[in-house]
Amino acid sequence: MSLLYFPSHFKPISLGDDRRGTDFYLFLLILALRFLPGNPFNRQTHPPFIFHWKKPFFFLMATRPGNERDVHPRAPLRPGYVYVKKGNPYITRHCRQLTLSTGKDLFKVVDDKNRTLGLRVPAAIHATVLAADASTKSARLSATAARDARTLSDARAVLLELFSAMPAADVDAVVAHAFRKNSGRVGRNGRMSLEEKVTLGVRAHVRHAHTAYEELMRSGVERDVARWRVAGELEEVVRRWQGLPEKSPRRMSFRNVGGSAEKGGEGKTKKKSEGVLRLKEEMRRAGGGANRRTASSVPAKAKKQVRKPATRVGAGVRKAKPRNGRGLAATKRTRGKRIS
């Protein structure tokens, strides 16, 4: 069986000794069929050669119509396509949907940092979407205003239900600040319930308006340390506005009363965070800084104790009780045996 020499990454196909060099010509035939238009491996209705901007020395096969691809801003614009700049959600969303639903290619323009700049869509689809945007703009604006007003009214109702003793001025301030549109604040978070949004917005308002948090931040105190210092005062104000006793646990919302880590001052999560903040404060007072751990600034109890496992146990030495609960093996005396 004769085989021509190929590099290690090629795997030639041999048809026997009677045809010398058949494997080489068969390889060339398969390679030609792979890149010819209308090839049997990947049939398509448009030419398969597309020049890729990230790989300038290779040609990539074109995808089927109706697919979305990423292109560079310097890539040539396909004839009959227009560039739609990012910024209007209605136009970009409908241009994308109509382009893909009609079986046309959609090009997403991304820069060198993989940030989306816009879309390249057929000009006819873009004109149709622009006409629909102009005809429905007033109705969409009125619907958006009604939805925003309904969101604010629901937030105010939940706020008054959770914080019944809250002053009216503070209620207006929390609703206006936390639920401000296009602000990125907690009230515009779509992954939280309305009760959680209201509660977190009230706590942030109390921290900034009814404690010394702003003065501490202006004086150079770290954010975590400043929050720890005003935590007690914040809890007093929040409990008073909720109509709860001073020593009652912290209530996050009606949904998780009595069963979450956010419950109150007796929770493990809060104790752990307060311990970390106390450690930072002690390190700061010792002059080591919040990021510099020295032997003098870290308390003895805060140092991590490393437990060294024993290798062998001599005669008459009692084995320590392991953590896996094997009490019988833990109390047995061993002679020269290795502890597992």
Structure confidence by residue, pLDDT tens digits, 4-42: 444 455 455 454 555 556 777 877 877 776 666 554 454
Q: What is the DSSP string of 272-292?
A: HHHHHHHHHHHHHHTTS-SS-
The pLDDT score that the predictor gives to residue 31 is: 74
**319: how many CB neighbours lie within 10 A of its CB?**
15
The pLDDT score that the predictor gives to residue 23 is: 76
- Judged by average pLDDT, the poorest of 12-26, 170-184, 206-220 is 12-26
Going by C-alpha positions, the residue among 48, 47, 111 that lies closest to residue 75 is 111
> 289-328: per-residue pLDDT in tens?
444 444 443 444 444 444 545 445 444 445 455 455 454 4
290 or 130, which is more confident?
A: 130
Q: What percent of the chain has pLDDT over 70?
A: 56
Residue 152: is its pLDDT beyond 50? yes
The pLDDT score that the predictor gives to residue 99 is: 93
Q: Taking residues 128-147, what's their average pLDDT?
A: 92
The pLDDT score that the predictor gives to residue 281 is: 67
Encoding tokens for residue 294?
Answer: 């020295």
What's this model's pTM, rounded to 2 decimal places? 0.48
The pLDDT score that the predictor gives to residue 35 is: 66
Domain boundary assignment for the chain: 66-148, 163-285
Do 119 and 92 form a contact (C-beta atoms < 8 A)?
yes
269 or 203, which is more confident?
A: 203
Q: Tell me how far apart the alpha carbons of residues 15 and 1 are, in angstroms, rounded to a whole number.
A: 8
Do 182 and 139 form a contact (C-beta atoms < 8 A)?
no
Q: Give domain 66-148's CATH architecture.
A: 2-Layer Sandwich (3.30)
Q: Taking residues 257-268, what's their average pLDDT?
A: 41
The pLDDT score that the predictor gives to residue 263 is: 40
How much helix, strand and coil, in percent to the nearest 5, is found in the chain?
45, 10, 50
Residue 203: is its pLDDT beyond 90? yes
Do 199 and 206 form a contact (C-beta atoms < 8 A)?
no
278 or 80, which is more confident?
A: 80
Q: Taking residues 243-261, what's their average pLDDT?
A: 53
Residues in the chain: 340
> 53-75: per-residue pLDDT in tens?
454 444 444 445 568 889 999 99
128 or 286, which is more confident?
A: 128
**166: how many CB neighbours lie within 10 A of its CB?**
21
The continuous run of DSSP H or E covering 91 comes out as: helix 89-101
**24: how many CB neighbours lie within 10 A of its CB?**
16
The pLDDT score that the predictor gives to residue 28 is: 80
131 or 281, which is more confident?
A: 131
Residue 261: is its pLDDT beyond 60? no
Encoding tokens for residue 274?
Answer: 């307060």
| Phi, psi for 338 (deg, rounded to 5) | -85, 135
Q: Taking residues 200-213, what's their average pLDDT?
A: 93
The SS3 call for residue 135 is helix
Sheet with 68-71, side-by-side order of all strands: 68-71, 106-110, 116-122, 81-85
Burial of 106 (0-12, 13-18, 19+ CB in 10 A): buried
The pLDDT score that the predictor gives to residue 29 is: 78
Encoding tokens for residue 80?
Answer: 């009959």
> 70-104: per-residue pLDDT in tens?
999 999 999 999 999 999 999 999 999 999 988 89
Encoding tokens for residue 325?
Answer: 């609960």
The letter for the amino acid at 10 is F
Average pLDDT, the chain: 72
Residue 225: is its pLDDT beyond 60? yes
Residue 236: is its pLDDT beyond 80? yes
